[in-house]
Chain A
Amino acid sequence: MTRTVVTLTGAMVFAGVAAAAGSDGNAIPDLNDPKVISAGRNVFLKRHCSHCHGANGDGGINLTKRDLTDPTYVFQAIAEGRERGSMRMPASRDVLSDEEIWLTTAYVMSIGLKSK
């Protein structure tokens, strides 16, 4: 998936428009759907995101204190990894499928700080 496609589809999905498709041709799930969020938590735990973020997102790198309302940002961070200051999150593209990354995106957004 190119960055452009992610940006457009991510924004659409978060607005509740679950009709877009990723580069693998699969539909992107509704990120507000509780079932999607629950499935995302399973991926989060299975893939040991909890190692750094804690099982409920309140670990060393505390997601519950972060503004995670931009699906593009969250997807990209999981897919490509992230380096901020001295911190580094490994990239998960090709380790997780796009579908799994979207599911995880849904869960991560559900536990982050919400927009006011």
Chain B
Amino acid sequence: MTHQASYSKWPIGCAAVSCAARVGLLLSLGSVTAGAQVLAPGTEDPNNWPQYHRSSNAWRYSPLEQINKTNVGKLKVAWIRQGGDITHGIQETPIVIDGVVYTITAQNRVAALDARTGKEIWRFEPKLDPLTKKVLFSPYSRGVTVGRGKVFIATVDGRGIAVDQKTGKEVWQVQLTDFANCQGCNFTSPPVLAGDVLTFGSTAGELATAGKIFGVDADAGKKLWEFETIKQDPKSWPGESGKYGGGGAWMPGTYDAETNTVYYGTGNPGKDFLAAGREGDNLYTDSVIALDPKTGKLKWYRQEIQHDVWDYDAAYEALLFKKDGKDLLVHPNKSGFVFVLDKSDGKIENVWRLSETINFVKDIDPKSGQLIGRLDLPIGKATLVCPSAFGARSWNSGAYNPKTGLWYTTVMELCGAITPAEQKSDPKDYSTPHIGAEDLGKLQRVAGHKPGRLDARDPITGQRKWTYEMDIPSFGAVLATGGGLVFNGDPLGIVRAFDADDGKVLWSFNTGSGLRSGIVSYAVDGKQYILVPSGWGSYAAILLPALFPELENAPGASTLIAFTVED
């Protein structure tokens, strides 16, 4: 793939409206021409981080290059902002537009900050349903969405809220999930802005409920449609098994304006580890689904894991590429396989292995996608499953650099011993995971492998160029930059900058608390910043100390740290 970006070293900033118009024009034309400049895919709107994965192709690539291999060693702290409540740490990917940072911390507390100084401009703190104290997936959020003059929040009590982008005053709110009657199904990730429609994906796996994606009018706050991630089909879900079938789309989707499609990955079926009662393929769990954001109608789907009994969600990022005349969608699955699909119809182009430790199947057919040689999990008996229920990677996204042609992603090599058990389905049993096992499986190391890695790979073939091994796996998202750098942070709080070409560590900094978040980069007043959300928390923080005692007393935090290179 060739993506020779031809843009000025310091691209001229643009106001939100003009940027949006420019990007919309570029995408609608399927072109990368803007005046005399030619913008390669993923390089549009370079000074900002305007959406969850920065660009619509979900690359998490900042084209900024003021901070680069030669000066990254001189990175210094520019400002620090404490988020206050540290419950479950800080898990967000901040949004940065035209010199303003939009941040969300525990309890859905949102703030706008001056990106030069970290000084607060406004804050918004919604009053949450007290039931959020009891439910499993609370009170954290992975980000906000900004556009159309508003900041959109998907709340942990199942609402959508819009506040004014300049003032933080509430514009509208709408209750979307049946929060009290679905074991607390809610939103832990930001909505996707698809034109004038917002799409919200609910939590559902590990809950006695059925997942939904909601379409909402972004300006009026009116619900437009619901898409059920559990297919109404007795062949797929016998009896009433689909009623509590899980399958939530709990991570943000990718909106492709070129085809007016929003791509979502869906979660695992429930109960996670118990096959009995839900014989069938359990559509549309563990699938990539392509929806029309105007209507919520399904364009196509590709199920990656049929009849999953190992908790291998497909909720992760969907990257878009053009190669050899094909429009491709690359989608990592928690199972350790990466699926390369035709983005127009979901047809499989390739399936490759990210993990080196896989035993839940002997293989996945790279043409049909069928699972070959499944590992069954008998009730009441412990079975070692690889990868573990943490997956070959957690939800924290990788990043792609068009200059190197490499996709950078964290990897785990861990197994877990799963003992399935009968369990009643009770949508009001808020604090009990609906998983059909005593726990998520006792973690085990794999002989001959470090538990964690950062890999640099060709996203289409999986060919690996370099790897960086870790004694404790990373649970932070990756940032790639035009300066030839890759940023990632670990559970102990060490942030590293790697040489994108060979993986050499060029800089590191101890932030004082682990990373479960998305590092971003932006520029304001001609200066590039690296913004690091630091704050260990989440269920990973709870479960990992059993295998990694170093994390037993790992401190929590909810801190934004902005780095820059002094003149």
Interface residues of A (CB under 8 A from B): 45, 47-48, 50-52, 54-55, 58-62, 81, 83, 85-88, 90-92, 94-95
- The residues of A that contact B133 with a CB separation of less than 8 Å are 81, 90-91
> How far, in Å, is A105 (CB) from chain B's closest CB?
16
CB of B498 within 8 A of chain A? no
Contact B86 A58 (CB under 8 A): no
CB of B340 within 8 A of chain A? no
- The residues of B that contact A92 with a CB separation of less than 8 Å are 134, 431
- The residues of B that contact A62 with a CB separation of less than 8 Å are 545-546, 552
> How far, in Å, is A26 (CB) from chain B's closest CB?
21
> How far, in Å, is A84 (CB) from chain B's closest CB?
9
Instruction: State in angstroms the CA–CA spacing of A48 and B546 once bound together.
Output: 16
Listed from nearest, the 5 A-B pairs whose CB atoms lie closest are: A86-B556, A90-B431, A86-B537, A60-B543, A85-B556
> How far, in Å, is B533 (CB) from chain A's closest CB?
13
- The residues of A that contact B545 with a CB separation of less than 8 Å are 60-62
> How far, in Å, is A18 (CB) from chain B's closest CB?
27
- The residues of A that contact B87 with a CB separation of less than 8 Å are 83, 86-88
> How far, in Å, is B208 (CB) from chain A's closest CB?
12
* Interface residues as binary, B419-453 with A (CB distance below 8 Å gives 1, 0 otherwise): 00000000011111101001110100000000000
Contact B442 A52 (CB under 8 A): no
CB of B38 within 8 A of chain A? no
- The residues of B that contact A90 with a CB separation of less than 8 Å are 133-136, 138, 430-431
CB of B542 within 8 A of chain A? yes
Contact A85 B555 (CB under 8 A): yes
Partner of B439, one of A59, A81, A86: A59
Contact B134 A81 (CB under 8 A): yes
- The residues of A that contact B546 with a CB separation of less than 8 Å are 54, 58-60, 62
CB of B524 within 8 A of chain A? no
Contact B433 A48 (CB under 8 A): yes
Instruction: State in angstroms the CA–CA spacing of A87 and B541 once bound together.
Output: 8
Contact B439 A50 (CB under 8 A): yes
- The residues of B that contact A54 with a CB separation of less than 8 Å are 439, 442, 546
- Give residues of chain B (518-567) contacting chain A, Cβ–Cβ below 8 Å: 535-537, 539, 541-546, 552, 555-558
Instruction: State in angstroms the CA–CA spacing of A94 and B431 once bound together.
Output: 10
Partner of A51, one of B138, B428, B433, B544: B433
- The residues of A that contact B307 with a CB separation of less than 8 Å are none
* Interface residues as binary, B88-127 with A (CB distance below 8 Å gives 1, 0 otherwise): 1100000000000000000000000000000000000000
Total A-B Cβ pairs within 8 A: 85
> How far, in Å, is B483 (CB) from chain A's closest CB?
32
Instruction: State in angstroms the CA–CA spacing of A33 and B450 once bound together.
Output: 45
- The residues of B that contact A47 with a CB separation of less than 8 Å are 431-432
Partner of A86, one of B88, B134, B432, B433: B88
- The residues of A that contact B88 with a CB separation of less than 8 Å are 86, 88
Closest to B516 in A: A86
Contact B435 A48 (CB under 8 A): yes
Instruction: State in angstroms the CA–CA spacing of A92 and B133 once bound together.
Output: 9
Contact B432 A95 (CB under 8 A): yes
Closest to A92 in B: B431
Contact A48 B432 (CB under 8 A): yes
- The residues of A that contact B136 with a CB separation of less than 8 Å are 90
> How far, in Å, is B425 (CB) from chain A's closest CB?
13
Instruction: State in angstroms the CA–CA spacing of A19 and B133 once bound together.
Output: 32
Contact A91 B552 (CB under 8 A): no
Partner of A85, one of B86, B431, B539: B86
Contact B439 A51 (CB under 8 A): yes
Contact B535 A59 (CB under 8 A): no
Closest to B136 in A: A90
Contact A86 B536 (CB under 8 A): yes
Instruction: State in angstroms the CA–CA spacing of A21 and B135 once bound together.
Output: 29
Evaluate whether A86 and B89 lie within 8 angstroms (CB atoms) in the complex, with A48-B438, A48-B439 already known.
yes
29 contacting pairs across A/B (C-beta < 8 A):
A48-B432, A51-B433, A51-B438, A51-B440, A52-B542, A54-B546, A58-B546, A59-B439, A59-B442, A60-B543, A60-B544, A61-B545, A62-B545, A85-B556, A86-B86, A86-B87, A86-B89, A86-B537, A87-B537, A87-B541, A87-B542, A88-B88, A88-B139, A90-B135, A90-B138, A91-B133, A91-B134, A92-B134, A95-B432
Closest to B440 in A: A51
- The residues of A that contact B536 with a CB separation of less than 8 Å are 86
Extra contacts, 5 of them, besides A61-B545, A62-B546, A86-B556 (Cβ < 8 A), are A51-B439, A52-B539, A52-B542, A86-B88, A86-B541
Evaluate whether A55 and B439 lie within 8 angstroms (CB atoms) in the complex, with A47-B432, A90-B136 already known.
yes
Instruction: State in angstroms the CA–CA spacing of A74 and B537 once bound together.
Output: 23
> How far, in Å, is B256 (CB) from chain A's closest CB?
36
Instruction: State in angstroms the CA–CA spacing of A50 and B542 once bound together.
Output: 12
Q: Determine which residue in B133, B439, B535, B557 has the highest number of CB atoms from chain A within 10 A of its CB, and name it.
A: B439
- The residues of A that contact B431 with a CB separation of less than 8 Å are 47, 81, 90-92, 95
> How far, in Å, is A55 (CB) from chain B's closest CB?
5
- Give residues of chain B (222-249) contacting chain A, Cβ–Cβ below 8 Å: none
- The residues of A that contact B435 with a CB separation of less than 8 Å are 48, 51
* Interface residues as binary, B36-47 with A (CB distance below 8 Å gives 1, 0 otherwise): 000000000000
Instruction: State in angstroms the CA–CA spacing of A45 and B437 once bound together.
Output: 9
Instruction: State in angstroms the CA–CA spacing of A91 and B429 once bound together.
Output: 11
Q: Determine which residue in A45, A47, A86, A91 has the highest number of CB atoms from chain B within 10 A of its CB, and name it.
A: A86
Contact B430 A95 (CB under 8 A): yes
- The residues of B that contact A88 with a CB separation of less than 8 Å are 87-88, 138-139
- Give residues of chain B (131-187) contacting chain A, Cβ–Cβ below 8 Å: 133-136, 138-139
- The residues of B that contact A45 with a CB separation of less than 8 Å are 438
Instruction: State in angstroms the CA–CA spacing of A45 and B439 once bound together.
Output: 9
- The residues of B that contact A94 with a CB separation of less than 8 Å are 134
Instruction: State in angstroms the CA–CA spacing of A54 and B431 once bound together.
Output: 16
Instruction: State in angstroms the CA–CA spacing of A94 and B135 once bound together.
Output: 12
Instruction: State in angstroms the CA–CA spacing of A94 and B557 once bound together.
Output: 31
Contact B535 A86 (CB under 8 A): yes
Contact A61 B542 (CB under 8 A): yes
Instruction: State in angstroms the CA–CA spacing of A60 and B551 once bound together.
Output: 9
